Structure 1
Amino acid sequence: NGLFDCSGFVAWAYKQAGVNLPASTGALTSAGTQVSKSQMQPGDLVFFNTYKTDGHVGIYVGGGKFIGSQSSTGVAVANMSSGYWADKFNGRVVRVN
């Protein structure tokens, strides 16, 4: 539904801030330091088990929400505290160094 898949959007967004990240979900799982979900901060990468483990990634924006590129909506802010994304969130949080 747009120009980005989820990992491509994350890589593009960080590049706008001068940070180079890989554009694959698998590589993004080790693109920084793992932190507990209780320590999530805006800017952290959050991972979801969709079609596979860590099949989707977004950027946490605070307040139980993340921004990502979803096939259904394109780039959008989504709620990860309830509903579909809450069920898919696997607790993996990566803080980019």
Structure 2
Amino acid sequence: MGEKEKGIEAVPCASGWCSKIIEGGNNDDYGIATERQCLPRGPSDSEERCAKTEWNHKKVYMCFCQGDLCNASTTLHKFNLTFLLSALELLLLLCITV
């Protein structure tokens, strides 16, 4: 029981820049494949971004990220979650008081 549990270790990229490539995700796809890679250097404008593009003759969604191995949520997604939770809380409050 005292053994250390084995798992995946995330090692930051030497340049500080990584990419995440998401293949699939269409309604007719069976599953989604995600691949993460270290980049030797970041984009010339040093801006993080995501876009649909073609990679190895396949249509993919690719992100260039700095420092978090492309795992962080964007501010917009965090805002949407906060808004959704606030709306649900208000709805529950209205249902209880009626």
Scaled by the length of structure 2, the TM-score of the pair is: 0.27
Larger radius of gyration: 2
Instruction: Determine which structure has greater relative contact order: mean sequence separation of CA pairs < 8 Å that are 6+ residues apart, divided by chain length.
Output: 1
Scaled by the length of structure 1, the TM-score of the pair is: 0.27
